[in-house]
Amino acid sequence: MGGVPPPFAAIYFDCDSTLSAMEGVDELLRDVDPAFRAEIAALTDAAMNGDLPLAEVYDRRLSRLAPNERQLQHVGALYVERALPDAKDVVAALRSLGKVVGVVSGGLLVPVRAFAQFLGIDAAHVHAVPLQFDAAGNYRDFDRSSLLWRNQGKVELLRSLPADHRPLAFVGDGVTDLETQGTADLFIGFGGVVARPAVMQRAEVSVTAPRLAAVLPHVLTEGERAQLAAHPQFCSLLPA
């Protein structure tokens, strides 16, 4: 295993294609022109694979999509619908051990925060990009002071977290998640939804099983695993 071994005080997750088996931006594209959908999907994929700077993609994508508040609420509901089947139990298991569980996402704050609430994650530990709306709920801009709409933003955010969140493990599927390797005490590349070669090949630890529980052996001590194994709600999360 690379990085710092357990125990960890905090476990932070990416949202899209990690906690939920979808990309929020894809859902915002459902009702747009197919050519535009293909253009935005290609931009998103290029950013996630590290072929284009995230900031360039982010600005172009949101200015074209201009999502309103109603659309964001719909995306939040879809995150819940497509949550990894064991995500809620994994969050509960980690919290039962006294660990901070959080989300650091380049996604949009309204739907990410709604999904995190469903999972049982405290709002104070949810970090994503806020949008600005007019009085009618129409899109005006995104919060350009946010760290999370550009490359290395997740690194800066992790550095800003309280000292008592260390040691900290980070779990994610994309290149912006991989950037946290070396800042997080352990980075786990999650390929259970989308296995991106650039991430899977370079991550200190990588998992490809389509279960969030696949990360648990890498972030828990033997004693913590024994605690979960003795708990009727959580014992099924651990490998036999």
- What pLDDT was estimated at residue 172? 98
Distance CA 97, CA 95 (A): 5
Q: In what order do the strands lie in the sheet with 100-108?
A: 126-129, 100-108, 10-13, 168-172, 186-190, 205-207
> 10-14, 173-177, 236-240: which has the minimum mean pLDDT?
236-240
The domains found in the chain, sorted by start residue, are 10-237 (3.40.50.1000)
Peptide bond before residue 197 is cis, with ω within 30 degrees of 0:
no
Q: Is the pLDDT of residue 1 over 60?
A: no
The answer to whether the beta carbons of residues 214 and 192 sit under 8 Å apart is: yes
Distance CA 1, CA 112 (A): 30
Angle at CA of residue 212, ends 207 and 218, nearest 5°: 55
- Give the pLDDT confidence of 110-119 residue by residue, as tens digits: 999 999 999 9
DSSP codes of every residue in 84-103: -TTHHHHHHHHHHTT-EEEE
